[in-house]
Structures are given as structure tokens and as C-alpha cells.
A = this chain, B = another copy of it.
């Protein structure tokens, strides 16, 4: 099975990713791309996509990018996100790359776009640490 198929399978096994409707559209050693079609249930009170959805997208794309770089099971240790524009549109796209990969962790960046009438608009940027599972706090 190729990497993208493997990644899709992981995402399908995450009930929360299914609830949000996330789809993995790229997953290789170069970069990761996650897409979420916008539906009303993902919005906040002003009709924009909720920040929590953008955070989810950043978090998961960072994790997949770190996993591809480390070649193993991983968890997100931490990340930071800046929201720069309201997310108004039909689809969210999160694209992440590993800027560094060592033995125990990768440090990744992610750009989060909203697609509005075919045009991609940057709405958030993120940066975070992905840890190899054996070194992760989650399994301590």
C-alpha cells in the first residue's frame, strides 16, 4: 500500500476526523495536504468556519507531516497557530511540511487556506513539534 493510502486509512480510523469530514489528499515525504469541505456544522456565530476547525486541520496536517518525516507512529507535542483572515468559503486546505526531522522529533510548519469560489486565501499559519511515539508524553 502506498503512503497516501496508509494515511487515508489512519484518518478513517479517527472518528473526530470523520465527524469533520476531513480528507487526506497528499501524504508523502515532501508534504501533507488535508482538505475539509465546509458545511454549516463547522461554523461559528458569524458564519465563518470556526477557529477550532482550522486548529484541527493544522494539528492533524502537522502530525501527518511529522509522521512522514520520522517514518513512524507519532503524536503532536505542541503547536502554535496564528489566525490571519476569517475563513469564508467552500473548503479548508491545510498544507504542512517538516522543516526539521531528528531521531525523536520533527518540527513542522503548516499553511491553512480557505477556498472561496476557486481562489485559495491564506487564513492561518501554524508551527509545531511532532514526537516519535516512544519519546512522546502520551505513552508515559
Contacts and interface: CB of A to CB of B under 8 A. Distances in A.
A80 B78 contact: yes
A32 interface: no
Contacts of A127: 80, 82, 109, 125-127
Interface string A51-64: 11101100110010
Interface in A1-47: 10, 13-20, 40-45
Contacts of A63: 51
Interface string A87-126: 0000000000001101111010101000000000010011
A127 B44 CA distance: 21
Number of copies: 4
Nearest to A57: B52
A80 B82 CA distance: 9
A121 to B, nearest CB: 10
A10 B44 CA distance: 9
Given A78-B129, A79-B80, 13 more contacts: A10-B45, A14-B43, A15-B40, A16-B50, A16-B52, A51-B76, A82-B107, A83-B138, A84-B107, A85-B140, A102-B140, A104-B104, A129-B129
